[in-house]
């Protein structure tokens, strides 16, 4: 009996010893900072640190600025508000109960009364109870009061997009729901440098803004961020790579996927891609997009959100309206599928580099 | 929260969204006269969701066999009940619904308290609110660590 047991143990140890552990790459993208480096006074920061810096600037320069949301006091579940309550006090940086509708309504009230209200919705997947307040109230306040009142001093920040294991309720990209609402601005940064400047612009903007932060980039995106305060313009897209054959359009995490696709297209197909980060969903930079598509004649729009009614649909409709005679092929969208965001099937769901590359290949052969 | 089974309707994205659902299931039991009771569970954090109170109102108005059970472990994610609730006697927050508080760490107390409340419900006497007071040892989802930040150092013993 003992002999059998010890033989079994030896065999087991042998089997375990022969298991090779391989490095599995679980991320569908590789973060690459912009080619142009920042000169001068910079610090190497990741995305949540740069967002923290922008909020600190707001608190420092604007005595009416307040930050609130679930768990922001101790630093927030993604550390974006770390240190702010200690420095600026509980009356300016405070926790709210678990009540998204209440948070949004409260934020509108604070904003209309003159405070620069920066509200956090813990995950974009949870923004829907606040949808009525944002769409029916915040977006329409200036319009329905004849400019007597407005909620322009409101900024809502929320983590969004796929993170590898988020599943139904920690991975969503709800930008399209809000794009359908005049009166709002929606901004999605691709990295720390953009985030710091864009968030400050949103906070200081005269209209209610939703700042959606790709959560997978909080730690993955690291670059040299200028130390001083700076604002970046809203409604302006960035051309990250110039090209002649195909225009690739994306935002947030997807921008980094598209940059890699452009490299693959160059080396494997000899196709030169122009990569554009839309940056602002509304208002969106039609001029830059149309100019690019008129030049290349072929375009791929990629986003994680589902296909039907995704913001790619709006861009596609507008492109075919304005650039019809310049198009060499139909406008292509590579997007999440029309299902709830899955858990274990995430790698098949997101518009990864292989699906986008395939789209570029089809366009070339059209 | 991520499991589903016959008669076990699972968890929701927004915790608290299951409360109106519970009222609806309770309505079905009442309609079908099958002596069924719906147990609708939520936490101290979700107790601050508006839709819970919408569900409570419907349950009382229509006399639904629904037990609203608040699992109070003193922390909603990282925020303590003192700092998130104006009234943290959760068994009283049904207002016009009678409430029972029980020791959530004692399985026999929970069993007897729930049995008591279910019997009342089954007799058609309307919804009951229960608060099961418990303690959370580990960090909540996303806030895992050896020494979870929400606990006081004195609690480690």
pLDDT digits (tens, 9 = 90+) for A56-85: 999 999 999 999 999 999 999 999 999 999
Q: B135 vs chain A: nearest CA distance in angstroms?
A: 19
CA A66 – CA A59 distance, rounded (Å): 7
Partner-chain contact B143 A102, CB within 8 Å: no
CATH number of A238-365: 3.40.50.920
Q: Which residue shows structure tokens 């472990």?
A: B73
A357: its two tokens: 């590359």
Q: Is the dihedral of CA B2, B4, B7, B13 positive or negative?
A: positive
Q: Does pTM top 0.95 for this prediction?
A: no
Q: Inform me whether the pLDDT recorded for A334 exceeds 90.
A: yes
* CATH of segment(s) B17-133: 3.40.50.970
Q: How confident is the model at residue A39 (pLDDT cuts 50, 70, 90)?
A: confident
Q: Classify each residue of A296-310 as buried b or exposed e, where b means 16 or more C-beta atoms within 10 Å of its C-beta.
A: bbbbbbbbbbbeeeb
Phi and psi at residue A253, in whole multiples of 5°? Answer: -55, -40
Comparing CB atoms, the residue among A74, A98, A126 nearest residue B76 is: A98
Average pLDDT over residues A272-285: 98
Which has the higher per-residue pLDDT, B81 or B108? B108
Q: Which of A9-23, B4-18, B37-51 has the highest mean pLDDT?
A: B37-51
Across the interface, whether the CB atoms of A98 and B84 are under 8 A apart is answered yes
What integer pLDDT is reported at residue B155 of this predicted model? 59
What positions of A carry a catalytic annotation?
100, 170
DSSP state of A268: I
Residue B127 has pLDDT above 80, yes or no: yes
SS3 A202: helix
pLDDT recorded at residue A209: 98
- State whether residue B16 sits within 8 Å of chain A by CB: yes
As a whole-number percent, the residues of chain B with pLDDT over 70 amount to 88
Pick the CATH number of A2-226 from 3.40.50.300, 3.40.640.10, 3.40.50.970, 2.60.15.10: 3.40.50.970
Inter-chain contact B49–A73, Cβ cutoff 8 Å?
A: no
Q: Which among B14, B48, B78 has the least Cβ separation from residue A126?
A: B14
What angle, 0 to 180 degrees and rounded to 10, lies between the N-to-C axes of helices A353-365 and A254-264? 50
Write out the H or E segment, with its range, that includes residue A131.
helix A131-132
CA distance B84 to chain A (A): 5
Question: What is the per-residue pLDDT for B13?
Answer: 84
Of B48, B49, B79, the CB nearest to A71: B79
Q: Are B52 and A65 in contact (CB under 8 A)?
A: no
Domain residue spans of chain B = 17-133
Fold match, A2-226 / A238-365: yes
CB-CB neighbors (< 8 A) of B73 in chain A: none
All residues of chain A having their beta carbon less than 8 Å from the beta carbon of residue B78 are 71, 74, 77
Question: Does the complex come out with an ipTM higher than 0.85?
Answer: no
Sign of the C-alpha dihedral computed for residues A98, A103, A105 and A109 taken in this order: positive
Give residue B20's pLDDT: 95
Residue to mutate among B79, B83, B143, with most A CBs inside 10 A, is B79
CB A147 within 8 Å of CB A201: no
The residue extents of the domains of chain A are 2-226, 238-365
């Amino acid at each position: 009996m003992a002999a059998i047991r010890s033989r079994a143990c030896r065999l087991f140890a042998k089997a375990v010893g022969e298991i090779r552990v391989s490095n599995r790459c679980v991320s569908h993208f590789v973060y690459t900072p912009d080619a142009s480096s920042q000169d001068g006074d910079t610090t190497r920061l990741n995305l949540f640190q740069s967002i923290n810096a922008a909020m600190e600037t707001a608190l420092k320069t604007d005595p009416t600025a307040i930050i609130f949301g679930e768990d922001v006091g101790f630093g927030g579940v993604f550390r974006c508000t770390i240190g702010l309550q200690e420095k600026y006090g509980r009356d300016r940086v405070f926790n709210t109960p678990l009540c998204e509708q209440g948070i949004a309504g409260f934020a509108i009230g604070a904003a209309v009364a003159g405070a620069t209200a920066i509200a956090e919705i813990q995950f974009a997947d949870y923004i829907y109870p606040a949808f009525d307040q944002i769409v029916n109230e915040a977006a329409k306040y200036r319009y329905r009061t004849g400019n007597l009142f407005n909620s322009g001093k409101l900024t809502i920040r929320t983590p969004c997009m796929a993170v590898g294991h988020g599943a139904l309720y920690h991975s969503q990209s709800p930008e399209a729901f809000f794009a359908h609402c005049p009166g709002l601005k929606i901004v999605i940064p691709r990295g720390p440098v953009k985030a710091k400047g864009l968030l400050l612009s949103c906070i200081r903007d005269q209209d209610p803004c939703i700042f959606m932060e790709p959560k997978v980039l909080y730690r993955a995106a690291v670059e040299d961020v200028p130390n001083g305060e700076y604002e970046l313009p809203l409604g302006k897209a960035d051309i990250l790579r110039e090209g002649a054959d195909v225009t690739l359009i994306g935002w947030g995490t997807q921008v980094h996927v598209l940059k890699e696709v452009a490299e693959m297209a160059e080396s494997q197909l000899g196709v030169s891609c122009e990569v554009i980060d839309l940056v602002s969903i509304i208002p969106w930079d039609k001029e830059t997009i149309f100019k690019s598509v008129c030049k290349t004649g072929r375009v791929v729009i990629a986003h994680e959100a589902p296909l039907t009614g995704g913001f790619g649909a709006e861009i596609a409709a507008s492109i075919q309206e304005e650039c019809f005679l310049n198009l060499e092929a139909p406008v292509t969208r590579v997007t999440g599928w029309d299902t709830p965001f899955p858990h274990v099937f995430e790698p098949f769901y997101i518009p990864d580099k292989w699906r986008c590359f395939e789209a570029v290949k089809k366009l070339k052969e059209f | 929260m991520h499991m589903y089974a016959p008669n076990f309707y699972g968890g929701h994205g927004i915790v608290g969204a299951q409360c109106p659902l519970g009222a609806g299931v309770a309505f079905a039991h009442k309609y079908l006269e099958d002596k069924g009771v719906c147990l609708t569970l939520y936490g101290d954090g979700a107790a601050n969701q508006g839709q819970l109170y919408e569900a409570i109102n419907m349950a009382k108005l229509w006399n639904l066999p629904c037990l609203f059970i608040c699992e109070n472990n003193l922390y909603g994610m990282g925020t303590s009940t003192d700092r998130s609730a104006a009234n943290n006697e959760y068994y009283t927050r049904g207002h016009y619904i009678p409430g029972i508080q029980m020791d959530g760490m004692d399985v026999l107390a929970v069993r007897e308290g729930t049995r008591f409340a279910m019997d009342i419900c089954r007799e058609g006497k309307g919804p009951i609110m229960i608060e099961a007071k418990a303690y959370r040892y580990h960090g909540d989802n996303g806030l895992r660590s050896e020494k979870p930040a929400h606990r006081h150092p004195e609690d480690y013993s």
